[in-house]
Amino acid sequence: MLGLWRKIRRTGRVAEPAPAQPASETLPVTAELGGSVQIRHVDAGSCNGCEVEIGSAFGPVYDAERYGARLVASPRHADALVVTGPVTRNMAEPLRRTYEAVPGPKAVVAVGDCARNCGVFAGAYGVVGAVRDVVPVDLEIPGCPPRPEAIVDGVRKLTGR
């Protein structure tokens, strides 16, 4: 801890932030969705770290809405699902039902390492698996939690802007 304070005093800043990791994608539906995408967020069992970053990505600083993406309250109004966390036993069926309620064409974005591969929760007794084990995933955003810039980059790939 003392070394950190010496470094801050010497350089005037803590550490450089880690660069945003690029989103991996398989988006065949981007052209079909058009330029405006309505997104429904589903927390499948996360620690809420990704939710904080999603809130930042759609907040006034990063403003993901300027790229044509908007969070909506109902899956029936959505074009895409943003899913965070490993899928727990209690959330597997609600996630499937939410996916089925989204009208086609639709896309699913797995946000964070837990949604991609269960992260630190891999092998836990209450975890069914990653999001792709329950519903088909079109875009994955890596990170624990992913930086808001990476989430905005994924939204841009989703909207095609």
Is the residue at 7 inside a domain? no
The pLDDT of residue 58 is 94
pLDDT band at 26, cuts 50/70/90? low
The order of strands in the sheet holding 37-43 is 24-25, 139-141, 107-111, 80-84, 37-43, 69-71
Is the residue at 14 inside a domain? no
Which range among 11-15, 49-53, 157-161 has the greatest average pLDDT?
A: 49-53
The pLDDT of residue 8 is 46
The pLDDT of residue 30 is 53
- From 45, 20, 24, 22, select the one nearest 120 (Cα to Cα): 45
Task: Please determine, for residue 16, whether its predicted confidence score (pLDDT) is greater than 60.
Answer: no
Task: Please determine, for residue 1, whether its predicted confidence score (pLDDT) is greater than 80.
Answer: no
Residue type, 98: T
Task: Please determine, for residue 6, whether its predicted confidence score (pLDDT) is greater than 50.
Answer: no
Is the residue at 47 inside a domain? yes
The pLDDT of residue 14 is 44
Is the residue at 97 inside a domain? yes
The pLDDT of residue 138 is 94
70-104 pLDDT per residue, tens: 999 999 999 999 999 999 999 999 999 999 999 98
Is the residue at 42 inside a domain? yes
31-82 pLDDT per residue, tens: 556 678 999 999 999 999 999 999 999 999 999 999 989 999 999 999 999 9
**Cis? peptide before 75, omega within 30° of 0:** no
- pTM comes to 0.78
Is the residue at 114 inside a domain? yes
Domain that holds residue 92: 21-159
Q: Yes or no: say if 110 and 132 are a contact pair by the CB < 8 Å rule.
A: yes
* CA gap 59, 52 in Å, rounded: 10
* CA gap 72, 78 in Å, rounded: 7
Q: Where does residue 123 rank: exposed (0-12), middle (13-18), buried (19+ CB within 10 A)?
A: exposed
How many domains is the chain built from? 1
pLDDT band at 24, cuts 50/70/90? low
Q: Yes or no: say if 93 and 123 are a contact pair by the CB < 8 Å rule.
A: no
Is the residue at 8 inside a domain? no
What mean pLDDT do residues 118-126 have? 90
Query: Which residue carries 């981007």 as its tokens?
Result: 30
CATH of the domain at 78: 3.40.50.12280
